[in-house]
Amino acid sequence: MTERSIATTIHGRYLVAGPASGGPAPPPLLVGFHGYAESAALQFQRQRAIPGTSEWAHVAIQGLHRFYRGRDEEVVASWMTRQDRDHAIADNLRYVAAVIAEVRAELAIGPLVFAGFSQGVATAFRAAAAGSCQGMIALGGDVPPELASRETLALPPVLLARGAADDWYNAGKLDHDVMLLRQRNVQVESFTFDGGHEWTDAFADAASRFLARIREGFRC
């Protein structure tokens, strides 16, 4: 038996909304990546609920690998598994770049920020490292190994966050990632809130403050 891989075309799904009202300057864009067994719709609701982002354009990208959760009819998705890992990473990066290019063709946008939750954090980090963006938000997920092994990283300012009761992305992992990024001259701030492996109002408030600083810095 010979194992092979073949490239194919697959359609992805994303949700997009412009700012609530227009202004003299192009709106900033927040692009979000959901966690394992979640959907773009859930991520879209989360990021749209971040205080102070009504004047932002929002995009939530859904993982290419869809499935039904349990025995119900809710469609959820995954970003990748360990199988054919390098191919999956390349597929995801092309996918994200295509979404952003399509949005840019429709909207004049200002600063670009990526936000990932859980499994979506790795995709957000990879997209931030591969392209030009002004900020990166990571909740409940670590720096992917192929980026962690690099001696240099071209990343924008990063907000790393976790819930105090999160057993998966624990305090040790957060501290490790903070040190790793700072050693590579990446501007990083950490935030820990009361909660578990979840997106909470307290985290949304911290994300709001981070996004406001990114937007203000872009104006300057």
* Domain residue extents for the chain: 14-219
Residue 132, pLDDT score: 87
pLDDT in the model for residue 24 = 77
Mean local confidence (pLDDT), 52-81: 94
For the ranges 66-70, 81-85, 111-115, the lowest mean pLDDT is seen at 66-70
Which residues are CB-contacts of 211 (< 8 A; sequence separation ≥ 6)? 28, 30, 50, 52, 53, 56, 113, 135, 137
For 2-129, list the strands marked E by DSSP.
Answer: 14-17, 29-33, 57-61, 65-68, 75-78, 112-117
**Residue 66 pLDDT exceeds 60:** yes
- What confidence tens digit (pLDDT) does each residue in 180-219 have? 999 999 999 999 999 999 999 999 999 999 999 999 887 6
Fold of 14-219: Rossmann fold (3.40.50)
Interval 20-39 mean pLDDT = 92
Distances in whole angstroms, Cα of residue 109 to Cα of each of 105, 128, 135, 137: 10, 17, 14, 19
- Distance CA(23)–CA(37), nearest Å, equals 37
Q: What is the model's pTM? A: 0.95
Structure tokens at 205: 């408030």
pLDDT at 131: 86
- The share of the chain scoring above pLDDT 90, in percent, equals 92
Residue 54, pLDDT > 60, answer: yes
Beta partners for residue 31, in sequence order: 59, 114
55, 47, 2: which is closest to 24 by C-alpha?
Answer: 55
pLDDT given for residue 220 in this prediction: 46
CB neighbourhood size of 143 (10 A):
27
Compute the distance between CA of residue 208 and CA of residue 161 in angstroms, rounded to an integer. Answer: 13
> How much is the pLDDT for 114?
98
Q: What is the DSSP letter of 38?
A: B
Reading the block at residue 201, the tokens are 């109002």
Concatenating the DSSP letter of every residue in 179-194 gives HHHHHTT--EEEEEES
Whether the predicted pLDDT of 142 surpasses 80: yes
- Whole-angstrom distance, CA of residue 205 vs CA of residue 108: 27
Q: What is the mean pLDDT of residues 134-155?
A: 96
Q: What is the pLDDT of residue 112?
A: 97
CA dist., res. 25 & res. 92, Å (int): 30
State the chain's mean pLDDT as an integer.
95
